[in-house]
Copies of this chain bind each other. A is one copy, B any other.
Amino acid sequence: MIGILGGGQLGRMLSLAASRLGMRTHIFCPDPDSPAFEVTPHKTVAAYDDEAALAAFADAVDVITYEFENVPAATAALLAARKPLHPGVNALAIAQDRLAEKTFLASKNIPVAAYRAVATLADLEAAIDALGLPAVLKTTRLGYDGKGQRVLRERTDAAAAFAALEPKPLVLEAFVPFEMEISVVVARNASGEVKSFDPAENVHTNHILHTSTVPANIAPGVEKHAAMLAKVIVVALDYVGVLGVEFFVVPGTDRPSLIVNEIAPRVHNSGHWTEAVCLTDQFEQHIRAVLGWPLGDPARMADVVMENLIGDDVARVPAGNTQPHLYGKSEARPGRKMGHINRITRRF
């Protein structure tokens, strides 16, 4: 019995993958309408700080994982004291805090954008002096899909942006003149085996991922470099599970350089294409790692594009030669991820 914290679409797809491997899953989520509650009879509806509910959940399962990086530290500690928690408490603490993450990555010589911690408005003024403008001011926690960040173009933007962004502290990042965003979904198990899927080229619309295209339009050397950096990160974190690594591709005189934008300690939206064209998809790969199994084969059988279905986009399904994944959400609100489709663009 695998316990999964979070009942959104990622938890749902993790549960489906676990079921294919003969496992049972127990979903813990405060929202009684969680999509993942429809794919298993075992659930707990409770707040993430409900210690009695968490303890009962831990007692009911054999191993625990999660679908989102904002699991409170106290929640993770309580669970990890009772049952194996993968990815572990340390990796979670780093990946859920933008400042801790950048400090960690920089300490391992992973290239990141220049940054400064910003606790006060005076810190922000000093950070602008150091990094120049434009720059991006971000919360250190709880940001996603473009939420929790503001681009600063003029010094006069600073005070309002500082006041608006919560929770504090913040971090100021130098603007990166990237030509493309790519991501690598990498997996590591407790034996130290590491396998990554091919890099995807990501396009965002309104700060939400729109498409992931594989292969990315980058040279083989850049692909290998991205995979190598992803491997360095999971090894340095002593990581168990699947990790999403987002990179900026920055044009260079010789070849493009890669800068890590952020890491996500979970299955990743930009890895959904793996379901269509890999013998082992990212969800199964994560479950294998969590179970202590050998990792599966991440090689691709075709070129593919994943497209998110946001809000009313979901009305486009059913369509012809695509692989639709729908999350069973009751209401198609604007900006809400309702599903995705995988489309093969070239067979080998």
> Which residues of A are interface residues toward B (Cβ below 8 A)?
12, 16, 19-24, 37-41, 43, 276-277, 279-280, 284, 288, 291, 293-294, 296-297, 299, 301-302, 318-328, 339, 342, 344, 347-348
Are A21 and B279 interface neighbours, CB within 8 A? no
- C-alpha gap A325/B23 in the complex (Å): 10
Are B347 and A323 interface neighbours, CB within 8 A? no
Output the nearest chain B residue to A276 by Cβ-Cβ distance: B279
Q: Which of B277, B279, B293, B301 contacts A318 (CB 8 A)?
A: B293
Output the nearest chain B residue to A292 by Cβ-Cβ distance: B318
Copies of the protein in its oligomer = 2
Are B279 and A296 interface neighbours, CB within 8 A? no
Min distance, Cβ A292 to any Cβ of chain B, angstroms? 9
Nearest first, the 10 A-B pairs at minimum CB distance are: A22-B326, A301-B301, A293-B318, A297-B321, A22-B328, A348-B348, A41-B41, A19-B39, A279-B323, A24-B38
Min distance, Cβ A303 to any Cβ of chain B, angstroms? 11
Which residues of B sit under 8 angstroms from A279, Cβ to Cβ?
276, 321-323, 342, 344
Which residues of B sit under 8 angstroms from A294, Cβ to Cβ?
318-320
Which residues of B sit under 8 angstroms from A293, Cβ to Cβ?
318
- C-alpha gap A24/B34 in the complex (Å): 13
Which residues of B sit under 8 angstroms from A321, Cβ to Cβ?
279, 296-297
